[in-house]
Structures are given as structure tokens and as C-alpha cells.
Chain A
Amino acid sequence: DAEITQSPRHKITETGRQVTLACHQTWNHNNMFWYRQDLGHGLRLIHYSYGVQDTNKGEVSDGYSVSRSNTEDLPLTLESAASSQTSVYFCASSEVGGRGSTGELFFGEGSRLTVL
């Protein structure tokens, strides 16, 4: 079955370190997204991509970067981790919109990141 997987599921790091969270989907979806989820803020969009070599900033992109070198993967990099980036991170993917498409986003299980 097609799926979307995130790794690692849990990570503890120190302030200032570079961290990369992996996201891999096997649906061949063009659209991929990274969200963070925090109490009191809900899900907030960090970065998104509508295809290979395409990346776009979301509402909370400062301190994060992504790259899209193939259809299946959208890694999220924290260049210099900060305590404010302690959160649960969700990757999602969706097919290109069109007649008959529900616009559904398929989410991974999440990566819990703690920055000490």
C-alpha cells in the first residue's frame, strides 16, 4: 500500500545544531507540505512544494528550509535549532487538484522534536 513516512519519529537535539527531518511518500503525489503543531496554535504551514525543484514559504518558515530533488521526498532542515522550534512536525502530500479530487491531504505520523 502507498504511504507517507516520517523519520525520525522522536528526536532530542541541542540549541544551535542542524537537524533534518525526513519525509517520504509512495503515492507519487506532486504536492508535499510541512506543518508544525503546537498547543494553542494548531497546525501551521512551514513550507510546501508543488513539484520537483519547486519550494514555497508558508506562514512560519523562518529558521527552516526544504529542498525537492525528486517526487517522493521533501526533507525539512532546521539550520540552527532553537528552543522555539520544539514541536511536533507533520509532513503531508496530496494529488494535483482537479475534477473528482477531494483535495485530501495525506499526513504522516509526525516527528516530535525537542530542542534543549
Chain B
Amino acid sequence: EDQVTQSPEALRLQEGESSSLNCSYTVSGLRGLFWYRQDPGKGPEFLFTLYSAGEEKEKERLKATLTKKESFLHITAPKPEDSATYLCAVPGKLKAAGNKLTFGGGTRVLVKP
């Protein structure tokens, strides 16, 4: 059974204070790893898909990296608008794209001005 664990559960940052979120996973064979952002009262919003160890993706102040056992979401010089819950997920066995996802518990990030 696929398992996804995120740490820390919560992270409080000062504006401009860079940090990293961790997502570790246990799967029978890596079929991709997804990162989502969720704002309070909203549904999760897609950020990145990573498919192979060593792959990196960037979007504004966010950068996701992937190894064989874990993924990191680096937040560089965060702003208050980066405050959200960040979720990672792995897809099921049948196919990577468009398949059901198993999510981690999320990391709640609060960036104070």
C-alpha cells in the first residue's frame, strides 16, 4: 500500500525566510509525485508533477525536487501570499496521469510580514 508522509505539519516563517517542506513516500514503483497548494476554504490547486529522481520544477518562489525516496518543496524568500497548506501525492498503479492519488497530510505554511 502506498504511503505518503509530510513534514513538518506546520511551519511559521518570516517574510523572506527561505525554508523547505519534506514529502517522503513508500510506493511499489515510482509513477510520479504531485504537489498541490490549498488555501483555506478552497480545493487543492495543482503546482507540479515530477516523474523521475533528479527532476526539478520551479514556479515563482517555489521549487520542487525529487529523489528516490522523497521530494522537497523549497520556498525561497516567501511572501505572505505564499501562506497555504501544501500537499504532496502519489498516483495509483494503473497509470501515472489522470489516476487516483494518495495524499500526504499536508504542511500548513504561515508567512508573516
A residues apposed to B, CB below 8 Å: 30-31, 33, 35, 40-45, 48, 58, 90, 92, 94-98, 101-110
Contact check: which of B46, B103, B106 meets A104 at CB < 8 Å? Answer: B46
Q: Closest approach, in angstroms, between the C-beta of B108 and any C-beta of chain A?
A: 11
Interfacial chain B residues near A104, Cβ < 8 Å: 34, 46, 49
Can you name 4 extra interface pairs (CB under 8 A) apart from A97-B99, A104-B46, A105-B34? A43-B89, A96-B97, A97-B97, A109-B41
Chain A to chain B contacts (Cβ below 8 Å), 22 pairs: A30-B98, A31-B98, A35-B103, A40-B105, A42-B87, A42-B105, A43-B103, A48-B100, A90-B43, A94-B97, A94-B99, A96-B97, A96-B98, A97-B95, A98-B97, A101-B98, A103-B98, A103-B99, A104-B34, A104-B46, A105-B101, A109-B41
| Top 10 A-B pairs, shortest CB-CB distance | A97-B97, A107-B43, A103-B97, A97-B98, A101-B97, A43-B103, A42-B105, A104-B46, A94-B98, A97-B95
